[in-house]
Structure 1
Amino acid sequence: MQNLFGKKGLVTGAASGIGREIALQLAAEGVNLFLWDIDEAGLKDTAETASLVGVEVNCRICDLTDSEQISTEVQYLIDTWGTLDLLVNNAGVAFYGPTHTMSVEQWDWLLAINLHAPIQITRELLPLLLNRPEAHIVNVSSICGLVAGARFSAYQVSKFALQGFSEALRAEYSRQGLGVSSICPGPVTTRLFASAPCGREGKKTPIPPRWICTTPQQVAQRTIKAIYADQGLCLVGWVSYALYYLKRIAPWSLDLAHRFGRRKRMKKKHAPLTLQVESGTEKTPAQEIRSKAA
């Protein structure tokens, strides 16, 4: 996109964190805004701050777990503006804990916000975007959409899928002048971790130390540059770069790190079973087969 001044953009999750900073920096570039979030107080504060530079700002409460409400708000935007130049799918949530502790409802909640909502919003707004001589879609993903870790599987599933969606859109619509950027920061100093439910009883979701984190302002700055440069993949923060290139150059090293301590843990798991077998309270698989044969 050559110029942002006077363009019209929608930002989801604009009440705080990365979404708020992207909205404010877009406003500074002269972009008129529609802002969505479920946090009414935070959304109002972002809208008031953004409007100080003289751009048009519309803020709307929208629950991204409700597909009907999303469609209603999309139609309201269409009725109000009739056009759109920029879509920023930013809203996101997380869950920390072993995968087997997550309920169906928790999976549905997370995937609805992180994946299904961006897909629905994009699908319903694509006709408007494709009618513009220059338009751009920004999907705020994460390094977790490129490199997997432990105890964030649902979040990582949603971000891996969002990364794939971004690449598919870029491959399909680049010839028609539609830019698509996937923003993949490492840990960021937002409330994502503090507000994430924890599946480990009696524990809280750990918050990354500040020295490995980047800031929402830095993510927003890189996002603006990615829009101007039509950059497909935008890494933000040294942790993001380190993990990305480590996976590309030495993927075995990450797998080795995940398996660290495996032998010791397996011995602990087998110890009670061995005692039961020796005491005669439980049979080995071979003994079980022989007893059934008899």
Structure 2
Amino acid sequence: MRQLTGRVAVVTGAGSGIGRVTAERLAARGCHLALVDVSPDGVEQTAAAVRAAGVTASTHVADVSDADRVGELPEEVLDVHGAVHVLVNNAGVTSAGAFADEKLDDVRWMVGVNMWGVVHGCHAFLPVLLEQDEAHIVNVSSMTGLLGLPHNATYALTKGAVKSFTEGLRGELITTGVGVSTIFPGTHRTNITSSARGAEGQRIAKLGTSRMSALMPPPSRVAKAIVRAIEKDKPRMVVGPDARVLDLAARLAPGRTGLVGRATSRLATKH
């Protein structure tokens, strides 16, 4: 996009983490915000932060896995802002543990948010985006979308789907005024682990509040990549050293996850 000042951006998962700092960075560029999150308190806190930058912000409480609720959002956003130029599908959840130990309800939960949430957002807002002089969609995948990691198979399922879907969508829209980008973050300091499910969910949730989390890079790095992808129409952005390593591994040794699997299996047996 040539410029962001005065544009309107919809950000899902805006109540914390990557979504919140992305909203703040877009506000610093002069973007007005429609903030979407399942947490009423979180999304209101983000709204207060971006309004301090002098932009308009509306809040919309929604579970992105609910197609009917997401289908209501374009009209709500248009009623407040009159247009939509940017869509950032960021909302996500995680799990950890062996797939054999996963509950199908947890798998459906993750697919609903991580995969269907992206599809719902794109399907609902694309007609509005196509009406603009220029627009952009950002779908947040993960480094596990580049290379499926053992003990993260379900998460990789959803993030790999986001990767392929977004690449196909970019190809479809290449002759329109709507750009499309995929973001592949590595491990960053967010609260996504707080709601983690799976056999290792409780351990991962504790890790997110441990001293080790302080060593993780801040989510502002991902937000910076998201805004750059919008401004420069980048097809993909890989963020973080661990994500870049996996990107290289996926290119040089595709499908060879056995060594990682042996290592993670040994770690899992120690807990």
After TM superposition, is the score higher than 0.5? Answer: yes
Is this contact kept in 1: 2:150–2:260, CA < 8 A?
Answer: no
- Pairs within 5 Å for 1:29-48: 29-48=29-48
Aligned length: 261
Q: Which amino acid aligns with 2:58?
A: N
Deviation track 1:135-164 (CA, whole Å, cap 9, x = no partner) reads 000011111111111111111111000011
Kindly indicate whether residue 153 of structure 2 is the aligned counterpart of residue 153 of structure 1: yes
Cα 1:193–1:31 change in 2 (3 A) is same
Distance 1:198 1:254 in 2: 20
Cα 1:211–1:48 change in 2 (3 A) is closer
Partner of 1:222: 225
Distance 1:257 1:21 in 2: 32
Is this contact kept in 2: 1:198–1:205, CA < 8 A?
Answer: no
Partner of 1:177: 177
Secondary structure at 1:27's aligned position in 2? helix
Is this contact kept in 2: 1:247–1:254, CA < 8 A?
Answer: no
Distance 1:261 1:143 in 2: 16
Q: How far apart are residue 133 of structure 1 and its match? A: 1.6
Secondary structure at 2:139's aligned position in 1? strand
Is this contact kept in 1: 2:36–2:43, CA < 8 A?
Answer: yes
Distance 1:249 1:41 in 2: 44
Secondary structure at 1:243's aligned position in 2? helix
The structure, 1 or 2, with the larger RCO (C-alpha pairs under 8 Å, 6+ apart) is: 2
Distance 1:252 1:182 in 2: 21
Is this contact kept in 1: 2:64–2:121, CA < 8 A?
Answer: no
Partner of 1:96: 96
Cα 1:252–1:260 change in 2 (3 A) is farther
Q: What runs of 5+ residues in structure 2 fail to find an aligned partner?
A: 266-271
More moved, 136-145 vs 245-254: 245-254
Partner of 1:247: 250
Cα 1:75–1:100 change in 2 (3 A) is farther
Cα 1:252–1:162 change in 2 (3 A) is closer
Partner of 2:269: none
Is this contact kept in 2: 1:141–1:183, CA < 8 A?
Answer: yes
Deviation track 1:40-80 (CA, whole Å, cap 9, x = no partner) reads 11111110010011111001111223222222223322333
Q: How far apart are residue 186 of structure 1 and its match? A: 0.6
Q: How far apart are residue 220 of structure 1 and its match? A: 0.6
Is this contact kept in 2: 1:186–1:214, CA < 8 A?
Answer: no
Is this contact kept in 2: 1:18–1:220, CA < 8 A?
Answer: yes
**Alignment RMSD (CA, Å):** 2.1
Partner of 1:13: 13
Is this contact kept in 2: 1:198–1:204, CA < 8 A?
Answer: no
Deviation track 1:7-26 (CA, whole Å, cap 9, x = no partner) reads 01100000100000000000
Q: What runs of 5+ residues in structure 1 fail to find an aligned partner?
A: 263-294
Partner of 1:291: none
More moved, 81-90 vs 11-20: 81-90
Q: Which amino acid aligns with 1:92?
A: G
Kindly indicate whether residue 144 of structure 2 is the aligned counterpart of residue 144 of structure 1: yes
Q: How far apart are residue 28 of structure 1 and its match? A: 0.5
Partner of 1:127: 127
More moved, 23-32 vs 147-156: 147-156
Percent identity, aligned pairs only, is 33
Partner of 1:76: 76
Distance 2:41 2:214 in 1: 30
Cα 1:256–1:101 change in 2 (3 A) is closer
TM-score (norm 2): 0.89
- Pairs within 5 Å for 1:200-211: 200=200, 204-205=203-204, 207=207, 209-210=212-213
Cα 1:261–1:85 change in 2 (3 A) is closer
Q: Which amino acid aligns with 1:172?
A: E
Deviation track 1:190-211 (CA, whole Å, cap 9, x = no partner) reads 112243123249x622738458
Q: How far apart are residue 240 of structure 1 and its match? A: 0.8
